[in-house]
């Protein structure tokens, strides 16, 4: 039986994961946040002092990253530890950007991502899903927003935490992350030629959810 694969790409902070999770729940699909997988490896690199490309490449085969789906919700396991709640810091975000540029890291995760897509109706989000991971996806969406809007959203998300960085630092990190992701040699962040652009700068969460849900229903009906 053929599965339905939806690819959602876009820059850091565009709301891909939260939007994809809600849409997937509404449609009865599984949501796969590939960025969380790279964040898990970034966390491993931080904990083990192996942030340089040659260092992480040398140990990547020993880094066990798996996904568990509980009630349709994704949990990220790193070497048997549930790290879902430990990978959403700015430090881990930058580490994820760094390790994701390492070919050995991308190869390590690619087979797992493709296997999940082959076995489930999914919405998979990331940076290179439509261009590399699922080039034959039923629908490809490139979800974006201005850097300023993305920084504002991230600040509102983090502001209740005692270690919340200033808005200016978040904006700087987002711009640096964009630069890293768009110019890396391996699988750079790019809009696939056949992807539909959704700019959410002036859209609310529910409006984006409704827009993407309608696009998917039109595709699969």
Separation between Cα atoms, residue 58 and residue 60, nearest integer Å: 6
Report percent pLDDT > 90 for the chain.
74
Where does the pLDDT of residue 44 fall: very low under 50, low under 70, confident under 90, or very high at 90 and above?
very high
Question: Is pLDDT above 70 for 72?
Answer: no
Separation between Cα atoms, residue 75 and residue 82, nearest integer Å: 7
Beta strand 30-33 with 65-70 is unpaired
Instruction: Transcribe 28-62 into DSSP letters.
Output: TPEEEEHHHHHHHHHHHHHHHT--SHHHHHHHGGG
Burial (CB count <10 Å: 0-12, 13-18, 19+), residue 209: buried
218: left (phi over 0), alpha (psi -120 to 50) or beta: alpha
Question: Is pLDDT above 70 for 1?
Answer: no
Domain that holds residue 14: 5-220
- 37-41, 160-164, 172-176, 193-197: range with lowest mean pLDDT: 160-164
Separation between Cα atoms, residue 172 and residue 174, nearest integer Å: 5
CA-based nearest residue to 88, from 12, 21, 27, 23: 12
Q: What is the CB neighbour count within 10 angstroms for residue 188?
A: 15
Where does the pLDDT of residue 188 fall: very low under 50, low under 70, confident under 90, or very high at 90 and above?
confident
Report percent pLDDT > 70 for the chain.
99
Q: Residue 171 belongs to a domain with what CATH number? A: 3.40.50.300
pLDDT tens-digit map of 123-159: 999 988 999 999 999 999 999 999 999 999 999 988 8
Q: How many domains does the chain have?
A: 1
Residue matched to tokens 């975000």: 93
Q: What is the CB neighbour count within 10 angstroms for residue 174?
A: 23
Separation between Cα atoms, residue 189 and residue 10, nearest integer Å: 7
Supply the pTM of this predicted model: 0.84
- Which 3 state secondary structure label does DSSP give 10? coil
DSSP code, position 194: T
């Amino acid at each position: 039986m053929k599965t339905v694969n939806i690819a959602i790409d876009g820059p850091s902070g565009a709301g891909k994961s939260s939007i994809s999770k809600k849409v997937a729940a509404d449609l009865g699909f599984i949501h796969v946040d590939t960025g969380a997988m790279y964040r898990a490896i970034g966390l491993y690199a931080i904990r083990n002092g192996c942030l340089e490309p040659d260092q992480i490449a040398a140990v990547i085969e020993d880094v066990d990253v798996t996904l568990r789906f509980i009630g349709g919700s994704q949990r990220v396991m790193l070497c048997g530890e549930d790290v879902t709640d430990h990978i959403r810091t700015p430090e881990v975000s930058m580490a994820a950007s760094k390790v994701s540029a390492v070919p050995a890291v991308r190869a390590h995760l690619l087979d797992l991502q493709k296997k999940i897509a082959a076995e489930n109706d999914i919405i998979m989000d990331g940076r290179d899903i439509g261009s590399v991971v699922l080039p034959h996806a039923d629908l490809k969406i490139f979800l974006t927003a201005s850097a300023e809007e993305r920084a504002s959203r991230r600040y509102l998300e983090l502001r209740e935490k005692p270690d919340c960085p200033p808005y200016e630092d978040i904006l700087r990190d987002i711009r640096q992350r964009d630069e890293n992701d768009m110019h890396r040699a391996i699988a750079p962040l790019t809009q696939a030629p056949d992807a539909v652009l959704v700019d959410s700068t002036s859209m609310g969460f529910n409006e984006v959810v409704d827009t993407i849900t309608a696009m998917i229903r039109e595709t699969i009906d």
